Every structure is written in structure tokens, then in C-alpha cells.
Amino acid sequence: MEAQDVQEDLSHVLLSTEEVQATIAELAAKVDEDYAGKNPLIVAVLKGAIMVVADLTRAMSSHVDVDFMAVSSYGSGTKSSGVVRIVKDLDTDLTGRHVLIVEDIIDSGLTLSWLKANLESRNPASVEICTFLRKPDAMKVDIDVKYVGRDIPNEFVVGYGLDYAEKYRNLDCVGTLAPHVYS
């Protein structure tokens, strides 16, 4: 889906398709360099991170394992509820593994802070975080994020895996959702 297909629903395009892919390529190069020879376990946080993980791992030149975890703190709203619920847990034993949590976006950081602590309790060699987007003005907790694709304004964005009520995930760019859509 392209921005023109939903132009009435977007206030503006924040990142074009080309900017999205350039950001992913930059992240992949950094992750490749840092994890050379370590065969990290990429933990994709579903559902939003699926696009990021697919493109990130394809852009990498080293071997990685991928597993999926689904946690929820949103429901169908536009703000995090702060209550974390595991919807799908990992299938992989983390003992001794280098784990890289991959997120589509960090808003408050509450869910991710909880998730990192949860994974660290499973005896991995390391746990780091990679996010495609981060909203510094929305952060409520201080969380160390090793890889940040882009910092963005505190706006409700959709596209490239990011959704509103399960719509817009397949948008090939990132756009700010117009208030009339969710008001």
C-alpha cells in the first residue's frame, strides 16, 4: 500500500519508502558489525516489528536466528495502557545466547523495559535493543537502546508495520495518522 492509497487518512508522510529502507540498511550494518561471529537471536516483537525484522535480517550479511514474541499494552487505542500481557512467548531457550530485541517503535518505553527485564531473567549472554523508531518526548522510563533508526516527534504514526486498529501495517512508508481517523 502506498501513501496515495490512504492520503485522506494521513496528515503527512514522515518517512518515505526510500528513507525507511535507508534507515533499515544503516541499522543492519551496525548490527552486523557488532554481532559478527556471534549468531544472535533476533527477537521480533509482534506484530509491528515484522516488517522491520524481515527487512533488517535480509539486509544483514551474517547468520542470525529469529524468534517471535507478542506482548500487548495497547488494545485498539492510541496510547499505551501500561499493562503488559504476553500473547505469544518465545520458543527458543535464551541461555547463553546474544539476544537482540527488535521493535518497530518505542513510545513510553514501559512495555520494552518490562520485556527486557523478562528476557534478562532467562540467563542470556546479553540482551540489547534495536528499534526502527523512537519518540523521545513520549518516554516515561529510561531504557538503554543500542540501535535507534530514527527519533521522531510524539505523533501517532502508522505504516511499515505500525498500525491503528490493525490497519495501515502494509503502508510502505511512515505517516502521521490524521486525527479524524481516531477521534
Residues identified as active-site = 107
Report the b/e string of 18-43 with b at 16+ CB within 10 A: eebeebbeebbeebeeebeeeebbbb
- Residue 34 CB contacts under 8 Å (≥ 6 apart), including other chains: 146
157 exposed, middle or buried (CB, 10 Å; 0-12, 13-18, 19+)? buried
- For helices 17-34 and 50-59, what crossing angle results, to 10°? 60
Rounded distance, CA 142 to CA 122, Å?
22
* Location of C-alpha cell 522491520: 52
How many Cβ atoms sit within 10 Å of the Cβ of residue 67?
16
Backbone angles phi, psi at 75, to 5 degrees: 70, -135
